[in-house]
Structure 1
Amino acid sequence: MSTPVWITATPPATHGELHIGHLAGPYVAADVLTRYLRAEGEAVRFTTGTADHASSVEVRALRHNRKPEEVAEGYRAAITADWLRSGVEFDHIVRPRRDKGYGRWVQDLFSRLFAQGVIAPRTRLLPYCEPCDRWLYGAHATGSCPHCGADSDGGMCHECARPNDGGDLISARCAVCDTPAVARRCRRLYVPLEPFRETLAEYWATAGLPPRLAALCESLVEDGLPDIAVGHPAEWGLPVPVDGFPEHRIDGCFEAAAMHLFGYDTKGPLPRRAIHFCGFGHSFCHAVLLPVLLLAQDVKLPQDFNVNESYVIEEGVQEGNVWALDLLTEYGSDTLRRHVLQARPLGRRTVFHRERLAAARRELDESWNSWLARLFASVREECGGRAPQALPGGTGWEILERRLHRGVDDLREAYGPDAFDPRRAVAVLDEMVRSVADFGHVNAHERCRPSTSCRHLPALAAQLAVASALSAWARPVMPEGADRLAAALQVEAGRSVDWHALTGPLPGTRLAPPSGPVFGF
């Protein structure tokens, strides 16, 4: 068996539930690519985790007078349930507080890197809150990014994706009590990136980075690669396993990068290709720190990056109306998946408009489900609910078939890792459905011709062939409805996205259409 393609998605911090922006970012898109490659017979390893030790978890716990472990456990369960309901199926979700051996594995990696000199101590300024008597690192500190001026937490700016060291955060304040911070000298452990300058520059040059990520990496090289703090004086997280730092915890960004390696066993055969899905605000961890951890262990592998921008909520929409659980309950996974793929923020921010989500449901109801309902009704009325004894045909069938073949080529390109574009895939699928629906309307009039009997049956067979193909072609985007359609037609689910799928159920096969809509609900 060949070594798999390794696909990762950013581990979310467990300080809150998933909202629609998370689904529009890395998760649904990565699942689409995974499903497509598996249908093609490729071996795939699809992994993520939950960032239970993120500083934002502790901040939420402090604000609500709860224990951090309670916050992490509660939201981890909610996040994994939302993934399941949205059809995002991981091979491994790393659970930092539950996976056996995880904590020791991360600490052992940290210790090895320290012994190799990859991690070294430095003394720098770090914000401190005197009323709270707490060092302010990560989400504990708020202020303005020293690089772009945007609102930022300590450690990483999610706007420009450049790191800050906490002490250079402009107008730093405590995230819990909002008191202005004072700067104090603090001895911490760092990964100096400058020794990796040439290796990283070569790696980035061959990785085919998206333009904005390439600009970030080139700017880091131009300005001088920074030292990245990988430990902090704190109470929450994995203890730093280095003598002299008894009250320090491992940084969340370091742990998130290490989590990917734990999710993929680096002691076994290396993947032939790694594809990382992340938001731009998290790209430093994926494109800088993770490669350093790999390079420090002499692990080299081809890597690609699918980076999305932010999917922001339109002004006036209440926060409670954008949670993944609520939208999945109201619209279902098919509708929500196709919507977030259409609205996926590539190269620029996009805005969530609830009426566009409602429009996605209308498209499924008025185009996809309407055509399928007419088709199943015609088979029931004309053929007793069985696939007709006829070859695909009808007026315009040869033209439609050629268009569908061209459409499959477009689909394969849009689904494939080299030109991945799920928004294009949705558009191609919609055009296919509109074309076959028109074909069905035109050929329905064959039943009214008295000159020849059964002229309408080849058109029904043709439409059943297209429906069968769509159960394969649409499955990466809408797996729930696609599998429902395959079951209705008594054909195999999860077939390859190619023109061979354009084969209807065997003549005489009794169809089992669902009582409700095929796609969505």
Structure 2
Amino acid sequence: MKNIFVTATPPTPNGGLHLGHLAGPYLGADVFSRFQKMQGHKVTYLTYGDANQSFVVTTAKRKNLTPQELIKRNNVSIVSTMLKADIEIDGYKYVLDNKHHSKFVQEFFLDLYEKGIIIEKYYQALHCDDCNQYLFESFIEGLCPFCKKKSSGNLCENCARINNPNDLESPICNICKNPAQAKEQKGFFFSFRNLYTILKDFYESRTTWRPTLIEYCRQLIDKGIPDYPVSYPTNWGIPVPVGGNKDQSINVWFEMYPGIIDSIKSSSSYDDSTDEKLMVQFLGFDNCFFNSVLHVASALVKDDEQYLVPEHIYTNHFYLLEKSKFSTSKNHVIWAEDFLQDVEADTLRYYLSLTNPEHNQTNFELQEYFAKSEKLKTSLDEVIESFLTLTYEYNSRFNNLLSNQEIDYEAIGLLENTKAQLDEFLGFEHFSLRKAAIAIKDYLEGIENYIAKYKHLSHSQYEIPFKSFVLSIGYLIKGLAYFTKPIMPKTSDEIFALFSISTSEEPRWENVNNELKEGEWLSNNNREKQVESVFYEN
């Protein structure tokens, strides 16, 4: 049994979660966690509200709120959205005014400073004289020096490349929109100059990272990684613990790694005596520098087994809405919390998995969502209702159905093939929400085709084949309960209940291909023919 700590990029509480956020790390981490629990592993899924982000300050200014008011409101919304989407977070830490969190981060910063990895130096910082504000990250905008798209300072979310704000084309203050001015400033930087060998060796040992991420890291090593700022001249955030720097706060992206480690070490599932601990991370590709470079380097330099290295990192690209980027400023957005008031979480999770942007940009189409959701619900209802009809109509003949009956080889082949696919697509090596959702869709269609192929059999004329046929359908539908558990947990629970199987404990994946037992056969209450929708109200 492994002790697995799964993290998703801490959401910034400058707003709620829209469908693009949900389709990214938060759903992926939840599906992965559910599957690993079915494998018998100890899994803890953690994240926290990223309250020290500069985006909190700039958004609060636009909304005429204090940052504290904005954070409180949106942390509630974020957690509420996750609950409505059936995302099982085991820990969501609040970091605003969290003294334990701040102290842990400061001690981590100070240790790397004393090791010479974090260095102090002067540099040219951009400043807005009108706002009396140093400009970094969300405080500044311009054109990325690499891809020429609109970019914030220090990182372009379009191409995922870090930048020096001085290199932005036409940089302006993001508050008053006036041109930025350069001023000399002192700051702290993470130096990669002596870490290329250990980073290169680490990247070459990765087998589960997606090819685009591996190539991104390799190119950074080949070109050289510039010193990266781990402090900014601002009073928002955790103060730098080096004396004489009261005007400096720790860069929130550096804060994130020790912040997650603190969450892990503080969780009830953390045990110093447990040998095998794994950190698995889910994140948007625009954040890959921080997790796969800055955080990995920090962990390797720390060289302490308590500071877990992010072993497995799964990235996703942007999720578009009707073929355009989600934009709150242009009101081109669907807020997940609102959307989930009117739709089932399972159908949304299924569609987001089916269209997941794991290797490239993909698209949410509202019309397509409703069409695919309706198809899913119709298929589920028809399969279950066909089974219930058979067991109800011929109830008197099924008393010894389980005696000396064999599951049809076609049914066994269909289930075993799907199990093999999901073993691959929900496991470590080739985790893929899209392929897993397609495998489930194909399996459901396979059950429909199986029923259509054999439903002509007459129970009076062909008693043995007919009894085997009905038992095989039950075998396949019970398998569907296991297969849908990670992506569609409520649907899974409904199917398990159909067979009077308790879900008080996590269903074990190893039992997916077990034949029906006497106690798992349909109870008398569940034998009654269903004429209404089995899982969903009309």
Aligned to 2:300: 295
- Does residue 313 in structure 1 map to residue 325 in structure 2? no
Q: Which residue of 2 aligns with 1:445?
A: 456
1 CA distance for matches of 2:48 and 2:394?
Answer: 52
Aligned to 2:350: 338
Aligned partner letter, 1:354: L
1:453 Cα shift? 6.3
Rounded to whole Å, the distance in 2 between the matches of 1:500 and 1:470 is: 9
Q: 1:408-487 counterparts in 2 under 5 A?
A: 408-447=419-458, 450-451=460-461, 456-487=466-497
Query: What's 1:234 paired with?
Result: 234
Determine the structure 1 residue equivalent to 2:4. 5
Instruction: Give the drift of 1:110.
Output: 1.6
How far off its partner does 1:57 sit? 0.6
* Distance (Å, rounded) in 2 between the aligned partners of 1:180 and 1:150: 18
Q: CA deviation at 1:267?
A: 8.7
Contact 1:161 1:281 in 2 (8 A): yes
Distance verdict in 2 for CA 1:297–1:395, change over 3 Å: closer
CA 479–387 in structure 1, closer or farther in 2 if over 3 Å, else same: farther
| Partner in structure 1 of residue 339 of structure 2 | 327
Deviation at 1:516, TM superposition (A): 4.6
* Residue of structure 1 equivalent to 2:160: 161
Q: How far, CA to CA, are the matches of 2:280 and 2:17 in structure 1?
A: 22
Q: Tell me if 1:284 matches 2:289.
A: yes
Q: CA 1:454 to 1:321, structure 2 compared with 1: closer, same or farther past 3 Å?
A: farther
* 1:36 has 2:35 as partner: yes
Choose 410-419 or 511-520, whichever is displaced more: 511-520
Question: Would the aligned equivalents of 1:86 and 1:333 in 2 still touch at CA under 8 Å?
Answer: yes
Letter in 1 for 2:26: Y
Relative distance call for 1:88 and 1:330 in structure 2 (3 A) is same
Q: What is the DSSP-based 3-state SS (H/G/I as helix, E as strand, rest coil) of the residue aligned with 1:239? A: coil
- Whole-Å separation in 1 of the counterparts to 2:263 and 2:434: 29
Deviation at 1:512, TM superposition (A): 4.0
Higher mean displacement: 31-40 or 235-244:
235-244
Find the counterpart in structure 2 of residue 376 from structure 1: 388
Q: What's the CA shift for 1:115?
A: 2.3
Deviations 1:42-85 (A, max 9, x none): 12232222211111011000111111111112111111111121
- 1:224-259 superposed Cα distances (whole Å, 9 cap, x missing partner): 221111111113211222212112211111112222
Structure 1, gaps ≥5 residues long = none
Residues 315 and 404 (structure 1), Cα distance of their counterparts in 2 relative to 1, 3 Å cut: closer
Alpha-carbon distance in structure 2 between the residues aligned to 1:389 and 1:374: 20
Higher mean Cα deviation, 298-307 or 10-19?
298-307
Partner residue, 1:354:
366
CA distance in 1, matches of 2:398, 2:469: 12
**What is the aligned length?**
518
Aligned to 1:179: 178
1:63 alignment partner in structure 2 = 62
**What percent identity do the matched residue pairs reach?**
24
Q: Deviations over 1:129-156 (max 9, x none)?
A: 1221111111111111223222111121
* Structure 1 counterpart of 2:312: 304
Structure 1 residues 376 and 357, CA gap change in structure 2 (3 angstroms): same
Measured in 2, the distance between the counterparts of 1:488 and 1:278 equals 37
TM-score by length of 1: 0.91
- Tell whether the 8 Å contact from 1:46 to 1:92 is kept in structure 2 after alignment: yes
Q: Measured at CA, do residues 41 and 251 of structure 1 come closer, stay the same or move farther in structure 2, by a change above 3 Å?
A: same
2:144 maps to 1:145: yes
Supply the distance in 2 between the matched residues of 1:81 and 1:271 (Cα, whole angstroms): 33
1:82 alignment partner in structure 2: 81
Distance, in Å, in 2 between the alignment partners of 1:458 and 1:315 is 48
Secondary structure of the residue aligned to 1:35 is helix
Larger mean CA deviation between 395-404 and 347-356 belongs to 395-404
Check if 1:257 corresponds to 2:257: yes
For the structure 1 residues 471 and 184, does the alpha-carbon distance in structure 2 shift closer, same or farther, using more than 3 Å as the test?
same
Partner Cα separation in structure 2 for residue 502 and residue 360 of structure 1: 30
Indicate the SS of the match to 1:331: coil
Matched-pair contact (CA < 8 Å) for 1:490–1:511: no
Distance 2:433 2:3 in 1: 22
| Structure 2 CA distance for partners of 1:180 and 1:22, relative to 1, 3 Å | same
Amino acid at match of 1:509: S
Q: How far apart, in 2, do the equivalents of 1:106 and 1:456 lie? A: 66
CA deviations over 1:155-200 (Å, ceiling 9, x no partner) = 2111222212322222211112211211211111111121222221
Is contact 1:414-1:420 (8 Å) kept?
Answer: yes
Letter in 1 for 2:229: A
- Matched residue type, 1:155: N
Cα distance in 2 for partners of 1:345, 1:452 equals: 49
Does the 8 Å contact 1:489/1:511 carry over to 2? Answer: no
Q: TM-score, normalised by structure 2?
A: 0.89
The question of whether the paired residues in 2 share the 8 Å contact of 1:392 and 1:459 is answered with: no
